[in-house]
Structures are given as structure tokens and as C-alpha cells.
Amino acid sequence: MRGFIHFADTLSTSVGKAFSWCIVILMGGTCYEVIMAYAFNAPTLWNFDFSLQMYGAIFMMAGAYTLSTEAHVRGDVIYRLFKPRTQGYIDLVLYFIFFFPGVLALAFYGYEYASLAWKIKETSWNSPAQIQIYMAKSLIPAAGILLVIQGISEVFRSIICIQTGHWPARMVVAEETEKILMRTSQDEDQKDVI
């Protein structure tokens, strides 16, 4: 189980970091559009759709990375008061009730959706540029598959926590800003004491 967890975390992290570069591409496209529109009075036809596709790619492909780092929004007001073993049981049950039905539907129906788009070589209907969007729709089932892989990893984490009473360490840990600030202030207080 730990080997699969490591594999899933590595895959999710690698894909998430690779697609994070879409932000740079998105920024470049936006800067180009602003310069063309305001400096040369020659706005582009393609940039709006380009921006939507880049943002969509970032959003879709960051899901598994976000899950692997525990960075999804979570209402854990009561949950965090439970012992780790109880948290493991709760997570295990909720992954099967809520998570897997949704991401499996995303993967299966996303595949049908993307397959049809490829078959008809779908273009954007709301764009004067009529850019091709079937390639971008391929990211829908890809995101679903990555989420399924990471979800299996999270189930394995829950099982390990139930068995040992401790959560396995994560490859990348997302921390709340308050924790980082508190640790920084505690470090500074310790330096003042020394």
C-alpha cells in the first residue's frame, strides 16, 4: 500500500507541477492581448478561448495534486477533534459514498464526451475564431483517471491510519497560513530568548 501511495503522490505532484506552467502561458497570452488591444488597437479573436482553455487545463489537472496535498476545502470543525483512527474510518466511508462515484463518472462520461469531440473535431461555438477544443476536452477523462488513482491512494492512507493509529506522511504538505505564521513567530520568540 505504501508503494502505491508513493506512486500516486509522485504522479499527482508531477502532473500538478507540470500543468502549473499553464499559468505562465496564460499570463503571456493575457499580456499579449492587452498590448495588442490597447497599444495597437488590434485585439485578437483567439485570446479569449485560449485563456479559457489554459484556465480549464490548470483547474482540471490540479485536482489530484490538490487532493494529494490535502489542500481541498474541507469543513473539519468537528473532524479534527477525533482521534486519527476515527478520522481514518470516516475518510474511508466517505471516499466510497461521495468521492468515487463522482470521479468515476467524470472519467467514464468524460471519456465519452472527449471521444465525441475528437470524432467531430469540435470547435468553439461561441468564438469568432472557431478554435479547436476537442484536444482540451481530453483533459476531462485524464483528470478523472488521476483523481481515481489519487483516491485509491487516499483510501490506502485511511486503512494504514486505521491499522496504526497514525496518518502516513505526505510527499508535499500544504499548510494553512496561520500555522506557518505561528511557527515563524515561535521561532523568532525562541531566538529572542537565546
3-class DSSP string for the chain: CHHHHHHHHHHHHHHHHHHHCHHHHHHHHHHHHHHHHHHCCCCCCCHHHHHHHHHHHHHHHCHHHHHHCCCCCCCCCCHHHCCHHHHHHHHHHHHHHHHHHHHHHHHHHHHHHHHHHHHHCCECCCCCCCCECHHHHCHHHHHHHHHHHHHHHHHHHHHHHHHHCCCCCCCCCCCCHHHHHHHHHHHHHHHHHC
What cell was used for 100? 468515487
- Give the pLDDT confidence score for residue 181 in this predicted structure: 77
> Exposure of 18 by Cβ count < 10 A (0-12 exposed, 13-18 middle, 19+ buried)?
exposed
pLDDT value at residue 193: 67
d(CA 152, CA 164): 18
| Interval 15-57: pLDDT, tens | 999 999 999 999 999 999 999 999 999 998 888 888 888 999 9
Position with higher pLDDT, 191 vs 83:
83
Model pLDDT for residues 3-15, shown as the tens digit of each residue: 999 999 999 999 9
**Model pLDDT for residues 123-159, shown as the tens digit of each residue:** 887 777 788 888 899 999 999 999 999 999 999 999 9
What pLDDT is stored for residue 173 in this prediction?
A: 58
Query: Does 191 have pLDDT greater than 80?
Result: no
Total of domains in the chain = 1
Q: How far apart are CA 100 and CA 44, in angstroms?
A: 41
The tens digit of pLDDT for each residue in 150-189 reads 999 999 999 999 999 999 988 865 666 767 777 777 777 7
The whole domain housing 27 covers: 2-193
More confident residue, 191 or 140: 140
The whole-number pLDDT of residue 170 equals: 87
Q: What is the pTM of this model?
A: 0.83
Chain segment 88-103, per-residue pLDDT in tens: 999 999 999 999 999 9
pLDDT of res. 110: 95
Per-residue pLDDT tens over the stretch 47-73: 888 888 899 999 999 999 999 998 888
- 8 Å CB contact between 26 and 49: no
